[in-house]
Amino acid sequence: MRLDRLLTVEEVMRVAERRVPKMFFQYADSGAYTESSYRANSEDFGKIRLQQRVGVDISTRSLTTTILGRKVTMPLGLAPTGAAGMQSADGEIKAARAAEKFGIPFTLSTVSICSIEDVAAATTTPFWFQLYVRKDREFTGKLIDRAKAAGCGAIVVTMDCQHYGQRHKDVRNGLTVPLKFTPKFVAEMALKPRWALAMLGTRHRTFGNFSGHVPGATTVAQLAEWMGQQDDLTLNWTDLRWVKQRFGGPLVVKGILHPDDAHAAVDAGADAIIVSNHGGRQLDGAPSTIRVLPRIVDAVNGRCEIYLDSGVRSGHDMIKALALGARAVFIGRPFLYGLGAGGEAGVTRVLEIIRAETDSALGLMGVTDITRLGPANIESNDLLR
């Protein structure tokens, strides 16, 4: 399978679907409950029209900008995704390497398969660490310390996932920790031998940031039980100051959909916020992120950087978010599909697709510098009011 024959993120996804066991492919390709917000994220991007402009010298075009003061080759990063190492063996390391070579940030999830230290050992530029604040604040504090010791460039605190929005596909597929080797799952693995062999060949098959760090939990079952009791429903704005102070570097607050929450995050010390509905995986019925972005941009009024995730599937989507005021976008599922389709090379392919789409669209819009995008580059649209 030649990855360069894949021309869209959708095509990459179809290959991943063939290569990754259904249970893990659908873990990525799912939203909460009716999946209405999952669908709305992409649908609303589709309703926005770009302004075509001609008669401009577009012979040189630039996609570079900065994110939190660091130069990036395009305004896009890889979002934190739990258990990326189940889409492809050592998935987090592969994705981090692809991002590093491409010159964009990678964000490691708290619930990754490869640990903070594993990813740090395999890369040379700082990656970001996403923090789920756990009930056990001592454990949480140590996670922050580990991210700091690994030289992480930012800590991303996710605020919209203190308890779960159910994804029916996971329940139906029997996705559990530890995995149950049911006859159905074993049969699935026989159909995906490349995936299964690679998984057998790695020692990274459990939650790397937890394994060996939870006193008294020596088996995966004990670890899973402990993890299952750790959702901290008390998480609130005051906790962010503690995280920021302990980490000592930039704080990014993820899961903002309301202007008042954007204000609260900035007041709590956020250097950046991510407008996100967790890819439609949490509050089913929440609005798409592109719909609420302009209100949040107005509310923040330049006091911190603003990124957007949820539903970005192309360079055109990225341009729309930037035109509406985001400094950068993040992608979750697209890079997971890349991992499933072709490991590190698959992630690189997804990034190449998005870069080529962006470069082409910018030219046709008569824009030579991506940082110059603004509301004038999209047609005014009722969707946004």
Known catalytic residues are 278
- From candidates 115, 310, 314, 377, binder to ligand FMN by CB under 6 A: 310
Q: Verify binding: residue 21, ligand FMN, rule CB under 6 A.
A: no
- Token pair, residue 56, equals 């401009």
Coil, strand or helix at 170:
helix
For residues 221 and 382, give the distance between their C-alpha atoms in angstroms, rounded to a whole number.
51
For residues 238 and 102, give the distance between their C-alpha atoms in angstroms, rounded to a whole number.
36
Do residues 20 and 14 touch, judged by C-beta distance below 8 A?
A: no
Q: Verify binding: residue 79, ligand FMN, rule CB under 6 A.
A: yes
- Token pair, residue 332, equals 């979750």
Which one, 79 or 120, has the nearer CB to ligand FMN? 79
Among the residue ranges 203-211, 277-285, 300-308, 366-374, the one whose residues contact ligand FMN (CB under 6 A)? 277-285
- From candidates 44, 309, 317, 344, binder to ligand FMN by CB under 6 A: 309
# residues contacting ligand FMN (CB under 6 A): 24
Among the residue ranges 214-222, 230-238, 243-251, 274-282, the one whose residues contact ligand FMN (CB under 6 A)? 274-282
For residues 79 and 71, give the distance between their C-alpha atoms in angstroms, rounded to a whole number.
18
Query: What's the closest the beta carbon of residue 330 comes to ligand FMN, in angstroms?
Result: 6
Query: What's the closest the beta carbon of residue 363 comes to ligand FMN, in angstroms?
Result: 25
Q: By CB under 6 A, what part of segment 152-191 binds ligand FMN?
A: 158
Amino acid at 159: M
Q: Verify binding: residue 26, ligand FMN, rule CB under 6 A.
A: no
Which one, 92 or 188, has the nearer CB to ligand FMN? 92
CA 41 to chain centre: 14
Which one, 81 or 123, has the nearer CB to ligand FMN? 81
Q: By CB under 6 A, what part of segment 315-354 binds ligand FMN?
A: 331-333, 336
- From candidates 167, 204, 254, 320, binder to ligand FMN by CB under 6 A: 254
- The residue with tokens 């909460």 is 32
User: Going by DSSP bridges, is the β-strand pair 305-309/328-331 parallel, antiparallel, or unpaired?
Assistant: parallel
For residues 272 and 274, give the distance between their C-alpha atoms in angstroms, rounded to a whole number.
7
Phi, psi of 66 (to 5 degrees): -125, 150
Binding site for ligand FMN (CB under 6 A): 27-28, 41, 79-82, 109, 111, 130, 158, 254, 276, 278-279, 281, 309-312, 331-333, 336
